[in-house]
Structure 1
């Protein structure tokens, strides 16, 4: 496994593989890898001849006062995990933006509609930072396939739309959520939870599964599902940021009874740690 820090060297690495007739899969991460990340690496490996993983905590998706400094970093362990997973190259850029002594970074990428609502309600800066750094990584790594986890559902959809709109010749693949044994969606931020809040956070998945079962069993109004999930989380030790029932691709909020496939997405804080989760609802068999 190779480790590359320089953008030009990374681009040359990919182009050499492509010249040899090989395809390159890419898994962008912010490090602190867990089984969820490893599942994305497995998807990339199954689809491509070579796999690149990037490790970079992107400062432009954090606002002042958020957890940029506290975000867990475990570089030595991450590199070993990549090696064990059969990754061919790890891109660890020293920086993705100009230093303080250089002219300021002025170019950003905005996905105008899909970046609104949901996470953007409380983190309006977030998706501009994500779309910009992913664009920069795509331009450096030049992959054939890129794999993103669907736990960050809105982010996955934003990246898919951005890739289409900017004519990147990259297939964007979504990886299913990987969970702990008690149902909590795997996240690097789980390490920041206290033992008490870690135990309480399991209510997120539990409430989502109950809402899914209800909607797939009988005609159910979106508001009923939202209220049930919200009350369960707020009553279980969390503070809800949002709960939304939405159309899977456009992220448009549903109204009335759930009558076609949809997604319930959640963001909630447990202590100071903000967690995301979602669940897909398939309700075609229920008479409406």
Structure 2
């Protein structure tokens, strides 16, 4: 297993691979890897000649320093998990100074309004941080395909918009949410939950499934209100938001249309740990 810590090492290897016309698959992560990440890496490995995985806890996409400090950093364990797929996969694990060089700050981006919905309303500057790190990594690794999970569906749509804005020759591949047996969407944050809270957190997915069923006969407003009431009854959770949105614009749905596709999105806290999830409604 090759683990690089500098951009120069990556540049040299990418140049040699591009010269031989090898395809590059890329999975950007913040580490604390789980089976959901491994499914992305496996997809990349199956579809490309070379695979890069970045492991970097990006400070510019956190609006809460305490959350940044608590974010798990498990590089050795992460490398072992990646080796379970193949020891030919290349890991890039830089420091913040290596990535940002002089000043750890984010650029300002315009994502045609996608950045102002849902997560953008509650996490100030988050998508500027996401855009900044991905622009750096995309231009460094020069992948043919990059893989992202649909758990962060809004991020997935913003990454697609980013590649359009930057005019990158890059295919963004969205992959299905990988779930625990209980239905809880896999997340590095799950590891911070107590065993009881982890079990209780399955409530999110169960509520989403019930909302999907109701969406067939009820309005978006009625479904949203029903979900809000379910969380109000469950005192273990603090619901931050529930939104039913158009998958292309991410705008909250006011009136359903047969020609549009929708998803329902939830962000909620349990044990002061923030969890997000979403599912397609039609």
TM above 0.5, yes or no, is: yes
Corresponding residue for 1:91? 92
Distance in 1 (CA, whole Å) between partners of 2:265 and 2:116 is 14
More displaced 10-residue stretch of structure 1: 190-199 or 136-145: 190-199
- The superposition leaves residues 48-90 of structure 1 with CA deviations (integer Å, 9 ceiling, x where unpaired) of 1111100000001112444111011111110011111125200
Output the CA distance in 2 between the equivalents of 1:154 and 1:242: 14
Aligned residues: 276
Tell me the residue number matched to 2:143.
143
Q: Secondary structure at the match of 2:67?
A: coil
Q: Does the 8 Å CA contact 2:60/2:106 hold for their aligned counterparts?
A: no
Contact persistence 1:215–1:258 (CA under 8 A): no
Which 5+ residue runs of structure 1 have no aligned equivalent? 283-288
**1:226 aligns with one of 220, 224, 227:** 224
TM-score using structure 2 length: 0.93
* Residue 172 (structure 1) aligns with: 172
Distance 2:180 2:257 in 1: 29
Where 2:123 maps in the other structure, the secondary structure is: coil
Match of residue 235, structure 1, among 228, 233, 236: 233
Following superposition, the deviation at residue 256 of structure 1 comes to: 2.8
Q: How does 1:92-241 map to 2 (within 5 A)?
A: 92-95=93-96, 96-98=99-101, 102=102, 104-105=103-104, 108-112=107-111, 113-216=113-216, 218=217, 220-236=218-234, 237-241=236-240
Encode CA deviations 1:134-192: one digit per residue, 9 max, x unaligned. 11111111111100111011111111001111101111011110000000000000011
- Which aligned segments of 4 or more residues in structure 1 are displaced greater than 4 angstroms? none
Give TM-score scaled by structure 1 length.
0.91
Q: Is the 8 A contact 1:243 1:264 kept in 2?
A: yes
Unaligned 5+ runs, structure 2: none
C-alpha distance in 2 between matches for 1:274 and 1:106: 24
Q: Give the C-alpha shift of residue 105 in structure 1.
A: 5.0
Paired position in structure 1 for 2:24: 24
Residue 194 of structure 1: how far off its partner (Å): 2.1
What's the CA shift string for 1:210-246, capped at 9, x where partnerless? 1112223x3x110111122222233222111111111
Check the 8 A contact 1:27/1:44 in 2, yes or no. Answer: yes
State which drifts further: 170-179 or 258-267: 258-267
Q: Greater share of helix residues, 1 or 2?
A: 2
1:12 corresponds to which residue? 12
Q: Which residue of 1 aligns with 2:277?
A: 277
Cα contact 2:208–2:278 (8 A) shared by 1: yes
